[in-house]
Amino acid sequence: MAEFVLNKAQRLTFDTSSPNGILLFREVSKLLVAYGSRILALPTTTDVYGFKYKGIWISLTILSQALAGNYVNFGVFELYGDRALADALDIALKMTLSIPLADILAYRKLTRAYFAFVEVLFNSHLAFVLSLDTRTFMHIVGSLESGLKGLDAGISSQCASAIDNLAAFYFNNITMGEAPTSPAAVNLARHIAECPAVLPAVSFVLYLVRNCFLVRWFSHFLTVLKPATNAYA
Q: Is the pTM of this model over 0.75?
A: yes
pLDDT values of the chain reduced to their tens digit, one per residue, 233 residues: 555 565 555 556 665 566 777 888 888 899 999 999 999 988 878 889 988 999 999 999 989 988 987 777 888 888 888 899 999 999 999 999 999 999 999 999 999 999 999 999 999 999 999 999 989 998 998 898 888 877 788 898 888 888 888 888 887 887 765 666 788 888 988 888 887 766 665 555 555 555 555 444 444 444 544 444 444 44
Last residue of a domain, one of 99, 132, 152: 99
> Quick one: 92 and 141 in the same domain?
no
What's the pLDDT tens digit per position in 24-34? 888 889 999 99
What's the pLDDT tens digit per position in 128-169? 999 999 899 989 988 988 888 777 888 988 888 888 888 888
Residue 54 lies in a domain: yes
The pLDDT of residue 202 is 55
The pLDDT of residue 230 is 45
Residue 106 lies in a domain: no
Give the single-character DSSP code of 151: S
Residue 92 lies in a domain: yes
Residue 19 lies in a domain: yes
> Quick one: 19 and 42 in the same domain?
yes
Query: Of 115, 111, 90, whose CA–CA distance to 32 is shortest?
Result: 90
Residue 191 lies in a domain: yes
> Quick one: 70 and 138 in the same domain?
no
> Quick one: 75 and 5 in the same domain?
yes
CB crowding 184-222: b at 16 or more within 10 Å, else e: bbebbbebbeeeeebbeebeebbeebeeeeeeeeeeeee
Q: Which helix (H) or strand (E) holds 70?
A: none
Query: Of 3, 126, 20, 21, whose CA–CA distance to 58 is shortest?
Result: 3
> Quick one: 135 and 160 in the same domain?
yes
Query: Of 156, 104, 175, 166, whose CA–CA distance to 130 is shortest?
Result: 166
The pLDDT of residue 209 is 52
CA 203 to chain centre: 17
| Number of domains composing the chain | 2
Rounded distance between C-alpha atoms, residue 169 and residue 173, angstroms: 6
The pLDDT of residue 211 is 55
Rounded distance between C-alpha atoms, residue 164 and residue 176, angstroms: 17
Last residue of a domain, one of 99, 132, 157: 99
Question: CA 68, 72, 74: angle at the middle one, nearest 5?
Answer: 95
The pLDDT of residue 210 is 54
> Quick one: 7 and 88 in the same domain?
yes
Identity at 82, one-letter amino acid code: D
Residue 144 lies in a domain: yes
182 lies in which domain range?
A: 114-212
CB crowding 142-162: b at 16 or more within 10 Å, else e: ebbbbbbeeeeeebbbbbbbb
Residue 217 lies in a domain: no
> Quick one: 36 and 87 in the same domain?
yes
> Quick one: 118 and 194 in the same domain?
yes
Sign of the four-CA dihedral 131, 181, 83, 162: negative
> Quick one: 191 and 143 in the same domain?
yes
> Quick one: 86 and 1 in the same domain?
yes
Query: Of 137, 202, 206, 122, whose CA–CA distance to 169 is shortest?
Result: 122
